[in-house]
Amino acid sequence: MSLNLMRLLGRRTGSAPVARERLQILLAHERGMIGQPDLVGVLREEILAVVSRHVMLDPDKVMVKMDRGESVSTLEVDIELPNGFERRTRLPVNALA
């Protein structure tokens, strides 16, 4: 009944614009992924490698998450270090390269 009332008042409240917008955002992302390596997976490996040069850490405690929004996306990196973590004392030769 409220729907009919809104229609009488000339308001277009259909869900199609929402469907369209959701699809556009999703497909912009999915098209970019085709044929590409898994971006988050690559980032995770490389971040893990960089941090491991300096700190001993458990690879399972590295979380990399990507959240895609319409205009900006966020990359969230969460690395858990044990208290009193062991700092690597000797850096590999090319660590600063």
Partner 1 sequence: MAKVLVVTSGKGGVGKTTSTAALGGALAQNGERVVVVDFDVGLRNLDLVMGAERRVVFDLINVVQGVAKLSQALIRDKRLENLWLLPASQTRDKDALTEEGVRRVIADLRTKFDWVICDSPAGIERGATMAMRYADEAVIVTNPEVSSVRDSDRIIGMLDSKTARAEKGEQVKKHVLVTRYDSGRASRGEMLSIDDVLDILAVPLLGIIPESQDVLKASNVGTPVTLNSANSAPSRAYFDAARRLNGESIPMTVPVERKGLMDRLLGRRAA
The answer to whether residue 7 forms part of the interface with partner 1 (CB under 8 A) is yes
Nearer to partner 1, 19 or 50 (CB): 19
The verdict on 65 binding partner 1 (CB under 8 A) reads no
Instruction: Please name the helix (run of DSSP H) or strand (run of DSSP E) that holds residue 73, with its range, or none.
Output: strand 73-79
Distance in Å, CB of 20 to partner 1, minimum? 5
Tell me if 23 contacts partner 1 by CB under 8 A: yes
Q: Which two tokens stand for residue 34?
A: 């085709």
**DSSP strand pairing (62-68 vs 73-79):** antiparallel
In the complex with partner 1, the residue whose CB is nearer, 26 or 95, is: 26
- How far is C-alpha 89 from the geometric centre of its chain's CA atoms? 32
